[in-house]
Structure 1
Amino acid sequence: VSRGQAGKPPGGPVPSCPPSGTKLFTSTVHCTAVLEGFERLRQDGLLCDVSLLPGDGEESFPVHRAMMASSSDYFKAMFTGGMKEQDLTQIKLHGVSGMGLRQIIDFVYTAKLSLSMESLHETLEAASFLQVLPVLDFCTEFLISETTLENCVEVGRIANTYHLAAVDRFVDGFILRNFGALSQTAGFLRLPAERLERALASDSLKRCTELQLFRATCRWLRHSGSRMRQAARLMSRIRFPLMSPQELLHEVQTKTFPRFSPGCHNLAFWRASNYQMLPPMQPVLQSERTRIRSDATHLLALGGVLRQQLLVSKELRLYDERTRLWRCLAPMEAPRYQHGIAVVGNFLFVVGGQSNYDTKGKTAVDTVFRYDPRYNRWAQVAPLNEKRTFFHLSALNGRLYAVGGRNAAGELATVECYDPSSNEWTYVARMAEPHYGHAGTVYGNLMYISGGITHDTFQKELLCYDPESDRWTQRAPMSTVRGLHCMCTVRDRLYVIGGNHFRGASDYADVLSCEFYSPAADNWTSAAPMLRGQSDVGVAVFQ
């Protein structure tokens, strides 16, 4: 047999190939094959170069240093960092049990992990000690999937012990979503004080009244005499002002609370009673203890006119972003159209307007109503000094400002300010000229008014009111005259949207253009126009 010349195959010269680009090939099965190969070597005891011994026994686990070092920062440091274990053939791991070590080794060689609540503790202990992060991730996923009303307190304890932040957050959320049911279980009495306090302080704690939270806290405190020192801290998280006067008197004042927390009882009860006895002042008495428990912002629409029937509505509707549907709340006490709306202290104020469809403003009213979202109730507060409709209402620094408008006597230049603490309207600096059909917004500590109608003439001016100096100043005018338009603040821009103006002697034309004002530069910039005309509508900046 001829062997041929070295480097050349028998039978002739090497065929030449034209040059081409380089191609990369990747195997999708090689990694699995390598793992399976190492697992067979381990099972057969081949090429193993170190044996690991758990701290609680003498069982020996032969393994490959390279495999363990590639999967664990602990072993990588041990085998490559010059430690004495680098040259040992047997290593005792005092912080790891036999079951935990077996779980870790099985995962390193198979990428699979079998978990149960019985094996979880030792697996977590071993994974934390040996710094095998994928196993910690699997344990996190397992705990979250297995959390129930019966074991959530224990799951929280495990999360705290092994610093599993994701599990800890999940347990907090689980407790908030299920607090009412959990408070009736025996496990609730084992809830750590810190986690209970976090729940009681949260705005996301829903479907529980403050009275239910108070009763649950009392039950937790009664479970052990040593817990009484926690009473003041926990009771400070109960929002007593949100209870009814009857609940305060019969449940809080005369029963168990004084015995639990004599130091804070009188102060808490006095604050809650004071809040309940001063309904008009509640918007300015708002604090963490008076704020309704909610982590969501809602869009409301109220009043207006049904164009086809020319009927004025008294409906109050809430937009549910989750279902994308509108649902009805308690209706206003009277229909309203061309009214002003604003929020102070999470109370909704509806001011002025008219109850009948009347484009001349001759049926303007002076009544003011306040909506309380906690109880879905309306209350009447002090009326305006003047009836007004087609005006602007702003909330600024905890007060309401009603600007201009019109009534049966004609156009208005007057401006009124409502102070909830005194339940009174007082006049402040009036505008130089009357305006109605104008729009407004707040930026910083200033109120801006744009456009509108003065002496039957549409305007494009921009006015600025400073409540500190009680003065009006003119700013750069809009590029287009408009009235019955919208205005809102988005970050550092003031937008004007839509509206209409006169096209002829008595013919109205929609204004499709939109523009925004920069207070810092005192100038206007055009924005994208509307697709169709919109006048006499509302606008809100939502999320």
Structure 2
Amino acid sequence: MAGSYASMAVEHQFSDNRLPTSLMNRLSEQRRSGKFCDITISVEGGFQFKAHRNVLAAFSPYFDAMLSGSLAESRKDVVTLKEIAPESVRLLLDYAYTNRVVITPDNVQDLLSAADLLEITVIKEAACQYLANYMDVSNCIGIHCFGELHSCTQLQIKSKEYILQNFPEVSAQSEFTSLPKKKLIELISDDDLHVEKEEDLFEAVVRWCSAEPDLRECAFPEVFKHVRLGLIAPSFLAERVETLDLVRKDASSMALTAEAKLYHSFSKGCYIPENVTTKPRLLEVIVAVGYMESFGRKYSAIECFYPVERRWKTLTDFPSRIWGHGVAVGGKHTLYVAGGQLVSECRASPRTWSYDSVTNCWKELSEMRDARSGVGLAMLDGYLYAVGGADEYNWRTSVERYDPATNRWTTVAPIRKATINAAVTAQGGFLYVVGGSPIRRSPSRILQKYDPKKNEWTEAAPMIAARYDATICAVGSSHIYVLGGTDDHPFMECYDVHTNTWTPKSAPNELISSSGIAVLHGKIVACSDNGDSMEVYDPQKDLWTTINYDEITSHAYCGYATLLVRRSLFQEDKWK
């Protein structure tokens, strides 16, 4: 028999995956019965928990240092833990013996505090993730301050970003008025604070002071100087800020207000205030979204033109490769993309997405009822309208309306004449559909107007030139500008909604065909197909100015819009 063993030359290593679980179960049973327990943990309220020294030292560096070193506790049978809730100790000991713990809204903060003290990192991280997952406008400030107290770096970062991105809603919550002065100043000084108007931030500061007027009146001047008065309208400065008792009682606050008024009284750039901040919190930029080509690379993304460096930068990838899609902006920082043709499938799409420039994220929404390539898209009174377009077989007269509040598309009255690649915009409470092609590749002069109150379409004065695949934008409260088109009309034309008339305007310095246009700071920006230049049009002077830049990215299949984006998106390490 011994000889047969000697012939076995191959070694075999055996392991039982069930052993760790089996050991933990046996140790847990022994703890419950008190068997072999050699230490007792005592906490406030007279609660005591029996355990095994080796188990405590194995799962907690805190206990390891306490029980294996020269500390007095290493020789005691009973050790006392202060400032830890009994329930948290019970949960952590259960975790040590079972590898399971149930986190709830009632225990998460105490559990995190205890895990932090006992250096149980995995539970601390799990509690932080739990708080992050259930964060909302009513609790984000408390979560941020709690994370800061316990050095939860990622939770601090995430909660602060949430506060900045949702500041209007957060500042209306009770937590906001309990902020300490230092933390309030930190938040309102941040360039990435998202407020539509600086006036809203001023009112939030006033609410904070009013919550404890006796204590906070003396703190107001220090907080007030971080409100960017250079961004507040002159009328609001005079009628609201300057007349507020908190401002009037403090000489430094009155001086800041006077300097802001002086800044507004000069032409832009003629007077730079020394103490009043005029730096915008969000930057208004031109964005292009869709299918792009750059030095042989083909991709879909949303890119923005950064005027300081005069080049395009990718903000984030677009979920699909499409062209022939519609683009529209809802509010200041939400962009919608709908329809188009998927490059991979070569057929019209009903899909819809929204992009939030504050979070720099895409979200897919409900699909349109009809697939549409060459669709026109525009926002009117808070609703998104998709007009015309075509699928593989039909030019469409149907019009759909999307409600962001319900994430639903519904149909409205159809346009009078089917069209594809028409230019669509909203102005003065009406929707305007200009040109396009009623039959294949045949440009049109037609102007169709939609009244949402009557759910009715009418025809208005036709354009001067027939245009297909032209670009459009609304300027001011009464004018619509149309440029380009496949027939390469060199001039731009302007429609006055009050007089129902078209007027020719000067042509760009270089012919821009099928390019995109958007309005930035009251001027029209036209972007060339090949991506190496753009032209800026001044409606007051009827004058074009060319801006050249080095990088060449083809935006021929893109839609254009103007968005507010966070300054931090322009940090070099965030750009692709």
- Deviations along 1:89-132, one digit per CA (max 9) or x if unpaired, are 22222343422321221111112222334334433343232222
Range that drifts further, 72-81 or 109-118: 109-118
**Which amino acid is the alignment partner of residue 232 of structure 2?**
M
Counterpart of 1:181 in structure 2 is 169
Q: Indicate the residue corresponding to 1:36 in structure 2.
A: 25
Match of 1:114 in 2: 102
Q: Contact (CA 8 Å) 1:203, 1:295: kept in 2 or not?
A: no
Residue deviations 1:210-259 (CA, integer Å, cap 9, x gap): 11111111111122222123222222221222222211211112234523
The answer to whether residue 227 in structure 2 is matched with residue 227 in structure 1 is: no
2:208 aligns to what SS in structure 1? Answer: helix
1:66 offset after TM fit, Å? 0.8
1:134 is the counterpart of 2:285: no
Query: What amino acid is the match of 2:23?
Result: V
Instruction: State the partner residue of 1:60.
Output: 48
**Equivalent in the alignment of 1:281:** 269
Q: State the Cα deviation string for residues 342-375 of structure 1 (Å, max 9, x = none).
A: xxxxxxxxxxxx9237879xxxxxxxxx9754xx
**TM-score w.r.t. length of structure 2:** 0.51
**SS of match in other structure, 1:69:** helix
Paired residues of 2:39 and 2:51 also in contact (CA < 8 A) = yes
**Secondary structure in 2 aligned to 1:61?**
strand
Distance in 2 of aligned mates of 1:32 and 1:230:
58
Aligned counterpart, 1:250: 239
Which of 1, 4, 7 is the matching residue for 1:14?
Answer: 4
1:236 aligns with 2:225: yes
Q: What is the aligned counterpart of 1:91 among 73, 76, 79?
A: 79
Instruction: Spell out, residue by residue over 1:281-331, the C-alpha distance to the aligned partner (whole angstroms, 9 max, x if none).
Output: 2797799932322278653699xxxxxxxxxxxx99999675599988655
Structure whose CA Rg is larger: 1
Letter in 1 for 2:56: M
In structure 1, list runs of 5 or more residues that go unmatched: 1-7, 303-314, 340-353, 361-369, 380-391, 395-399, 401-437, 442-486, 489-496, 499-529, 533-540
Moved more, 217-226 or 89-98: 89-98
CA contact (8 A) 2:165 2:194 kept: yes
Q: Equivalent residue for 1:356?
A: 507
RMSD: 4.7
1:169 maps to: 157
SS state of the match for residue 50, structure 2? strand
Task: After superposition, give the CA deviation of every residue in 1:62-103 in whole Å (9 maximum; x if it has no partner).
Answer: 211111001111111122212232232222223434223212
Counterparts of residues 354-433 of structure 1 (less than 5 Å): 355-356=506-507, 373=521, 377-378=522-523
Equivalent position of 1:344 in the other structure? none
TM-score between both structures, scaled by the size of structure 1 = 0.54
Letter of the structure 2 residue corresponding to residue 152 of structure 1: C
Counterpart of 1:151 in structure 2 is 139
- 1:232–1:261 CA contact under 8 A, matched in 2: yes
Unpaired segments ≥5 residues, structure 2: 289-303, 306-326, 330-334, 338-354, 364-375, 379-424, 426-472, 491-504, 512-517, 525-531, 537-545, 557-571
Quote the residue 1:385 is aligned against.
none
Could you tell me how far apart the structure 2 residues matched to 1:333 and 1:278 are?
A: 30
Q: How does 1:424-503 map to 2 (within 5 A)?
A: 487-488=550-551
**Cα pair 1:42 1:48 within 8 Å, conserved:** yes
User: Does the CA contact (< 8 Å) of 1:240 and 1:269 recur in 2?
Assistant: no
Distance 2:78 2:275 in 1: 64
**What is the identity percentage for the equivalent residue pairs of Structure 1 and Structure 2?**
19
Structure 1 pair 50/316, CA: closer, same or farther in 2 (3 Å)?
A: closer
Q: 1:59 to 1:19 in 2, by over 3 A?
A: same
Q: For 1:53 and 1:258, how far apart are their aligned partners in 2?
A: 55
| Residue identity in the other structure for 2:33 | D
The residue aligned with 1:81 is: 69
1:149 match: secondary structure: coil
- Match for residue 314 of structure 2? none
Whole-angstrom CA distance in 2 between matches of 1:77 and 1:215: 52
Aligned length: 353
CA distance 1:295–1:145, shift in 2 (3 Å): farther
Change (3 A) 1:285 1:28: farther
Structure ranking higher on relative contact order (CA contacts 8 Å, 6+ apart)? 2
Distance 1:357 1:144 in 2: 51
Letter in 1 for 2:127: C
2:278 aligned to 279, 287, 290, which one?
290
- Whole-angstrom distance in 2 between the partners of 1:38 and 1:233: 59
Instruction: Report the Cα distance in structure 1 between the residues aligned to 2:94 and 2:204, rounded to whole angstroms.
Output: 45
Change (3 A) 1:297 1:83: farther
Using a 3 Å threshold, how does the CA distance of structure 1 residues 257 and 92 change in structure 2: closer, same or farther? closer
